[in-house]
Structure 1
């Protein structure tokens, strides 16, 4: 539901601000990549929390590190393929990365809180 909410905001931005370019040319590629990567990282951390709740924080940190490494590789590949300076891509990528990561951490910490009770 969170991904649909973010997608609806992204779809509505060009209609709200028609004269300003707010989305990069490959925005939906970035959106899909980060959405799938966040889902995979969440599942890995969730499995780690369920197996051993005492090391749940390590599972969360490992999934975030894995997500960061794959994201840096994505940015490297994107910047090699697109030679121009694309400041809009930078804003789009980091805003999506932070929104997805914040939601992932919030969801995982809620699971940890329920296990501590």
Structure 2
């Protein structure tokens, strides 16, 4: 979980510096809500993966697949709520959300691969 917090912190610093330097053409104002959302989802996924490792390693695949589906459903709900509320500059919102989704998914897969290789 510490790696997720550090990655979010570094990404937040980079986004903050981009906004302050005027390089925020494609950075949507709701990026901070997106960052908080993905940090919360990462925390939830981290806890579920710990349960999958501790309780029953044979059910690890089911835990992992359930976290993928959970992230997808929570992401659809998040995007749906913001689009329903009438967020402005929708292309930038969708692009930023998709970029963060790919970043956190790749980060999760990298961390999972690292843990599985260590435990093999």
Q: With structure 2 as the length reference, what TM-score do the two structures score? A: 0.84
Question: What is the count of residue pairs matched by the alignment?
Answer: 115
Equivalent residue in structure 1 for 2:50, among 42, 46, 51: 46
User: Contact (CA 8 Å) 2:8, 2:35: kept in 1 or not?
Assistant: no
| Structure 2 CA distance for partners of 1:85 and 1:5, relative to 1, 3 Å | closer
Unmatched tracts of structure 2, length 5 or more = 1-5
Q: With structure 1 as the length reference, what TM-score do the two structures score? A: 0.86
Aligned-pair Cα RMSD in Å: 1.8
| Structure 2 CA distance for partners of 1:66 and 1:11, relative to 1, 3 Å | same
Please name the residue that 2:106 is paired with: 102
Q: Residues of 1 paired with 2:105 and 2:87: CA distance?
A: 28
Please name the residue that 1:72 is paired with: 76
Please name the residue that 1:60 is paired with: 64
Q: Residues of 2 paired with 1:110 and 1:20: CA distance?
A: 34
User: Contact (CA 8 Å) 1:53, 1:115: kept in 2 or not?
Assistant: no
Unmatched tracts of structure 1, length 5 or more = none
